[in-house]
Amino acid sequence: MLYLVGLGLGDETDITVKGLEVVKKAERVYLEAYTSILLVDHTVLESYYGRSIVIADREMVESNSDEILRDAANVDVAFCVVGDPFGATTHTDLILRARELNIPVRTVPNASIMSGIGATGLQLYNFGQTVSMVFFTDNWRPSSFYDRIKENRDVGLHTLVLLDIKVKEQSLENMARGRLIYEPPRFMTVAQCAQQMLEIEEERQEGVYGPDSLAIGAARVGAKTEKFVAGTLKELCDSDDALGPPLHSLVLLGRRAHELERDYAREFAVNTESWDELWGKHYGKQ
C-alpha cells in the first residue's frame, strides 16, 4: 500500500494518530520537501516518529517516482506531505502512477493552509480560487494570477495567495553547465508579495487591488508562533518585521466581507482606526 500522510502545518506533533500509526509500521518513509516545509527539521520528525526518513525533493518526486513506488504493491510505503496530501497537484500525479502499477493507495488527511487560514477570522466559504505568487526576476514577471484574482474580486470573494518558496534550486548558469550546485533556500514574504501585486496592478490598470485595498498577512499558520497583520496592501509592504520568519501567506479581501470578519481581524490591524474607516469605504458601514 502507498500511504499519503498529511503532517499538518506546524511541527512534529501535528500528525494525526492514524498517520503516526502508518508511519511507524511502513517499510519506508519519505518526506516531500519542496511544495512546503514544516517549521522543524526532519531530524525532529525522525526522533518523534521513531523512524528514519528519506527526503523526497522535486527531482525524486517528479522524475524518479519509481523509487518511491518500489515494491509498494507488497510492502507499506509512507509518503509524508506538509499540510494535506492533496495540497499540491504533484501528489495527484503520484497516485495516478501508482494506479498504473496496480498499487493500492490510501490517504490520511490533515490540516492545510486552505483550512488553517480560517484563523484570520475570515469565513472559509467566502474564499474563491487560491493563487500562487512566484518570485519576479528582471526578465520574468508572470501575471496570470492577476486574472484569477480579478475573477474572485468580481464575485466578491476573498483570495488566498500562496507565496513562493525556493528549495534546492539551481541558478541558470549552474544548470546550463550541468553543475549540481544549489542556491540557498528562499521564502517569499508578505511584503514582497504585496509589492509585486501592486506592481502588476500598476501595469494592468484594471482596478482589482490598489494600495488602499484591505488584506491580511499570515505567518506560520498553525504553529505556536503564528502571526497575522491586517491592513492595506501599502501597509503590508512594510510588514516583514511584524510577521517574522516564514512561511507567509496573504489574503486579499473580497467585497462580500462580513462585519464579523471586520471585527475579528481588527485585532491584527496595523491601525484600527484606518482599518474601520477603509472597511466602511470598501464594504459600507454594515
Per-residue pLDDT of the chain (286 residues; tens, 9 = 90+): 999 999 999 899 999 999 999 999 999 999 987 777 888 888 999 999 999 999 988 778 777 788 999 999 999 999 999 999 987 666 888 899 999 999 999 999 999 999 999 999 999 999 999 999 999 988 889 999 999 999 999 999 999 999 998 876 655 665 666 666 666 778 999 999 999 999 999 999 999 999 999 999 999 999 999 999 999 999 999 999 999 999 999 999 999 888 999 999 999 999 999 999 999 888 875 4
Q: Where, residue-wise, is CATH 3.40.1010.10 in the chain?
A: 2-111
Q: What whole-number distance in Å separates Cα of residue 245 and Cα of residue 219?
A: 7
Q: What does R_g of the chain's alpha carbons equal in angstroms?
A: 20
Is 138 assigned to a binding site?
no
For domain 2-111, give the CATH number.
Answer: 3.40.1010.10
Instruction: Tell me whether strands 77-81 and 2-6 are parallel, antiparallel or unpaired.
Output: parallel
Residues 6+ apart with CB under 8 A from 184: none
Is 144 assigned to a binding site?
no
Is 95 assigned to a binding site?
no
Query: What is the reported pTM?
Result: 0.90
Is 132 assigned to a binding site?
no
Q: Where, residue-wise, is CATH 3.30.950.10 in the chain?
A: 114-283
Is 113 assigned to a binding site?
yes
Q: Looking at the structure, give the CATH architecture of the domain made up of residues 114-283.
A: 2-Layer Sandwich (3.30)
Is 9 assigned to a binding site?
yes
Is 87 assigned to a binding site?
yes
